Chain A
Amino acid sequence: DQQVKQNSPSLSVQEGRISILNCDYTNSMFDYFLWYKKYPAEGPTFLISISSIKDKNEDGRFTVFLNKSAKHLSLHIVPSQPGDSAVYFCAASDGDSNYQLIWGAGTKLIIKP
């Protein structure tokens, strides 16, 4: 049973345009959400997070939106750059003190020049 779902395995976006990566979850106990970026043969890099008490968090070109009623979050990257080409993972936590993350399957983002 996948508690965190990223339904798009890949996404192709023109350089300079907006990239929107989506993530859905089923567990209403999740209260903290994170996005990670991963290049091949490297560990994931933390990008941005959002607590369930907020509906938006912005950091430079990255903005995460959270819709709790729909159990949906999205990552917006604008403008998209070639270096943004990577696999993006959505992860969620229910606030357990061990801070274990439940991961989505990832979306491969390809930025076209």
Chain B
Amino acid sequence: GAVVSQHPSRVICKSGTSVKIECRSLDFQATTMFWYRQFPKQSLMLMATSNEGSKATYEQGVEKDKFLINHASLTLSTLTVTSAHPEDSSFYICSATGPTDNQPQHFGDGTRLSIL
């Protein structure tokens, strides 16, 4: 099946640090990638949608200057949490779909971000 690789799987850093998370589709062209955040015992919350070569579309309440998303190629999207603070600690998951419509989303294994 389709494989999506997300890296790193775990990050622990000090408050004020910027953290970059990578999401790669390994065996298909990901025309659309999604970034989710999951709080404990809650469902996935969509943060933003990115189409290759276009600016990301952010969900209401998600700060685009805080969570920078780049989708420069059909196989790579990055999420940068800028000047991270303890309240940004969470589990971040990416997914990818493509190259045609009506393909299931395939998920990375997520990144556990802990800000001290």
Could you tell me which A residues sit within 8 Å of B by CB distance?
32, 34, 36, 41-46, 49, 89, 95, 97-101, 103-106
Contact = CB atoms under 8 A, between A and B. Distances in A.
A34 B101 contact: no
Contacts of A100: 34, 46, 49
B60 interface: no
B110 A41 contact: yes
Contacts of B25: none
Contacts, number: 56
B108 A43 contact: yes
User: What is the interface of chain B mostly: helix, strand, loop, or mixed?
Assistant: strand
Given A43-B110, A44-B107, A98 B43 contact: no
Interface of B: 1, 4, 6, 32, 34, 42-44, 46, 49, 51, 57, 91, 93-95, 97, 101-110, 112
B6 A43 contact: yes
Contact of A98 (B32, B94, B110): B32
Contact of B104 (A34, A89, A95, A97): A34
B104 A104 contact: no
Given A99-B32, A99-B102, A100-B49, A89 B44 contact: yes
**Residue among A44, A45, A95 with max Cβ neighbours from chain B (10 Å):** A44
**Residue among B42, B43, B106 with max Cβ neighbours from chain A (10 Å):** B43
